[in-house]
Every structure is written in C-alpha cells, then in structure tokens.
Amino acid sequence: PALMQLTGGNPMFVLETLKRLWALPEHGQGAALPRPGNVGMLIDRRLAQLSAPALTLARVAAIAGTDFGIALTEAVIGQPALQLASAWHELEAAQVLRDGAFAHDLVYEAALRSVPPHIARHTHAAVAEWLNAHDGEPARIAEHWLQAGDSRRAMPHLIDAGWRSSHRTRLAEARGFFERAVAAAAGCGARTHEFEALEALHENYSREDPG
C-alpha cells in the first residue's frame, strides 16, 4: 500500500523506487520509501508542460493538501468553478489529479516543490483564513498558519485542537498540540497564550496520571 501511495502504481516509478530501496543498507529495512531523484525530475518536467491555469490549480491543491476542494480553490484563486473546469480536466488527463486528489505522492511533492517559498506562505495564510471562516478543523487551520510563518495566529487553534483531542480521550495527541502551542507562544513572546497552553498541558498530564 505504501508503494502504491507513493508511485500510483506506475511501473517505472515502482521500479526506480525499488532500485533505490535495494541500494540502502539492509535494503532500507524500517525506513520510509526513498524518493528516486530521476523520477522527480521527470515529474517536474511534466508539470512544466502544463498550461498556467492548470499549474496554478495543481499548486493550490498541493498547498491545501487534505483541505483541497472546489469552494476553497474558488476563494484562493479568485475564479468561479466553471472557469477552473478546463484546468481541472487538463490535470486529470495528465494524471496529476485523480478523483479530486493527487494521483500519487511523487506528483504531490513535485507540485509543492514548484511553489516559491514566499508564495507558499501567502497561500497557506489564504487557506487558513478560508478554513477559519468555514468552521474548519482547528488542527488543520493551525498547521496552515504555521506553514505561513505566523505562530501567533496558529496558537489558539493549536490549543483548540488540543482540547478537542482531550475531550475525545486522545490524550497523547492532545499533549502534542499543547506542547506545540507552548513552543509557538514562547517563540513569539505571547505570554497569555503560553500560560493558557501550559495550564492545558498540566491538566492533560493530570488526566493521564491521576496520582
């Protein structure tokens, strides 16, 4: 399944990945599947041949990740869905998208790699704003703000995500969110949020070990 997710079952991509895996010490036992560089370059060239609207759509899809959807894309690109139809069809014909998601991880990584860092940060912020206005998942909103380089705006969503996980008794997951909130608050000098996150973290530990 991991190989299929990475390569989409493309025989050449599968073969190149397995070659790289075989070359690793002990054949990469326990390691993540390697990303074959020559395949990455082929995919980069395929993306470069797309029309500008199709490449823009692919880049938005890569930055939005699991939050990618028609309504979000309309807002980020500033075009109605009907004007995106041709670009969408082009991406499907080029086997970049399949059923509204990337055909495989190597294509996703290439699309994400093609976005200049400052443009990526700006787009992450636009995605976070849209999700916040449409009752998005706090953990995802926080992640987009962090990718946008705005820890201050990520903090309340990290805390919210922590409480949601805590209420679902996923205490280890909750602790991770609270710890990230503490680090983000300390990094930008937000003492109020830091104290709030520390309090939440302490309560989370208390629930794990009542003694």
92-113 pLDDT tens trace: 999 899 999 999 999 999 999 9
Percent of the chain clearing pLDDT 70 (strictly above): 95
What is the reported pTM?
0.83
193 is written with which tokens? Answer: 């949020």
Length, in residues, of the chain? 211
Asked whether residue 145 carries a pLDDT value surpassing 90, the answer given is yes
Provide the pLDDT confidence category of residue 211 given band limits of 50, 70 and 90: very low
How many Cα atoms within 13 Å fall on the side-chain side of residue 67? 29
State how far the Cα of 146 lies from the Cα of 83, in Å rounded to an integer.
Answer: 31
